[in-house]
Amino acid sequence: MKPDHPDHAPPLDAAARKAVAPVICYPVDSLPAPDLGPYRAAREGWERTARVMVPPREASSFDVPAGHFFRITSIEGPQVGDLNLWNAHDLSERFFSGKTRALHGTHLGAGDRMWSNLPHLRAMATITEDTLDWYGFDAFGGGVHDVIGTRCDPYTHALLTAGGQYHHCCHSNLTRALAGRTGMPLTEAEWHVHDVLNVFMCTGFTRDTGQYFMKASPVRPGDFIEFFAEIDLLGALSACPDGDCSAEHSSDGAACHPLLVEVFRPPSPPQGWSPPAANPYDRSHGRKAHEAGGKAQR
């Protein structure tokens, strides 16, 4: 956090330096934006192929073939969920929360994509509908479906509570779900768990101190967020022990509810859709130029 009383006096031109206007780090004008029309039209006549309940304070896994949709729906009561996505055939390709944030901003909405980690960096899923899109940003700077908050985990909890042990953080729930799905030992599955999309969670950074905050989620039963799988996906969703995130963190004190995941197969893929190609970077990392430079020096 920034100090209330800085050690160093501001320079004479401090006001001018602070008044410099920001520029967007990653203008996405050159990134082909998905046309949601064909995606939504493809849902006509779709067939539900799987229905997975995520119990409170637990996680469940699910499979979504490329070209299928999946929906996460609030049922029974307000509840947030922590979502992990992997390439179903290669768990080393997984959702890259940080770069997705850099490309699309702190909170995701319809038309945004969930990008995979380096060296893959391609669209894993496209968000096709979000019933909480009306929320936008509130007066505190809070928004829904963030990619800023990693996931609740027992290590942070232990640090902040002088060694307290809690076993139903989303990190542990996702670890157990992946281990159960793959047969891996828990300690191996844990390495594959990654920073999440915080589904339905309402978060932001305080304007004065820049601290990560959460507040009661505006989600209500019947609200959903829907995705289109661009590649074959293995997913896992944790119904966070924080419930609607109105108060408690990493404890059994919050009211928690299940979440519903449904997978749908459309009669045919969206018009004009094709699976994402491999990232076009050649992965030489400048080796040829580097070698040429080395030879010139000798």
Residue 179, classed as helix, strand or coil, is helix
Stretch that binds Zn ion, among 92-100, 126-134, 146-154, 204-212 (CB under 5 A): 146-154
CB 220 within 8 A of CB 81: no
CB nearer to Zn ion: give 125 or 170.
170
Looking at residues 210 to 229 of the shown chain, list those that interact with Zn ion (rule: CB under 5 A): none
Amino acid at 62: F
Rounded to the nearest 10 degrees, how much is the dihedral formed by the CA atoms of 134, 135, 137, 142?
Answer: -160
Stretch that binds Zn ion, among 69-77, 141-149, 187-195, 236-244 (CB under 5 A): 236-244
Q: Are strands 81-87 and 233-239 parallel, antiparallel or unpaired?
A: antiparallel
193 binds Zn ion (CB under 5 A): no
Binding track, positions 67-106, relative to Zn ion; x by CB under 5 A: ---------------x------------------------
Least distance in angstroms from the C-beta of 48 to Zn ion: 27
Least distance in angstroms from the C-beta of 146 to Zn ion: 12
Structural tokens at position 162: 């002088």
CB nearer to Zn ion: give 66 or 75.
75
CB nearer to Zn ion: give 56 or 270.
56
Least distance in angstroms from the C-beta of 177 to Zn ion: 13
Strand residues in the chain grouped as ranges (E): 47-54, 59-64, 69-74, 81-87, 90-94, 113-115, 123-130, 143-146, 197-205, 212-215, 224-229, 233-239, 259-265
Least distance in angstroms from the C-beta of 241 to Zn ion: 6
Least distance in angstroms from the C-beta of 201 to Zn ion: 8
CB nearer to Zn ion: give 123 or 256.
256
Least distance in angstroms from the C-beta of 153 to Zn ion: 8
Q: Are strands 259-265 and 113-115 parallel, antiparallel or unpaired?
A: unpaired
Binding track, positions 2-31, relative to Zn ion; x by CB under 5 A: ------------------------------
Q: Are strands 90-94 and 224-229 parallel, antiparallel or unpaired?
A: unpaired
CB nearer to Zn ion: give 59 or 123.
59
Q: Is 47 exposed, middle or buried (0-12, 13-18, 19+ CB in 10 A)?
A: exposed
CB 261 within 8 A of CB 72: yes
Q: How many angstroms separate the Cα of 38 from the Cα of each of 44, 111, 166, 253, 287?
A: 11, 12, 45, 44, 42
CB nearer to Zn ion: give 36 or 158.
158
> What residues contact 237, with CB distance under 8 A and at least 6 apart?
54, 59, 60, 62, 72, 81, 82, 83, 84, 199, 259, 261
189 binds Zn ion (CB under 5 A): no
Tokens 């509908």 sit on residue: 129
152 binds Zn ion (CB under 5 A): yes
170 binds Zn ion (CB under 5 A): yes
CB nearer to Zn ion: give 68 or 157.
157
Q: Rule CB under 5 A: choose which of 240, 245, 259, 263 binds Zn ion.
A: 240
Least distance in angstroms from the C-beta of 260 to Zn ion: 18
Tell me how many degrees the CA angle 36-98-278 measures, rounded to the nearest 5.
60
Count of chain residues binding Zn ion (CB under 5 A): 4
Least distance in angstroms from the C-beta of 168 to Zn ion: 9
* Site residues, Zn ion (CB under 5 A): 82, 152, 170, 240
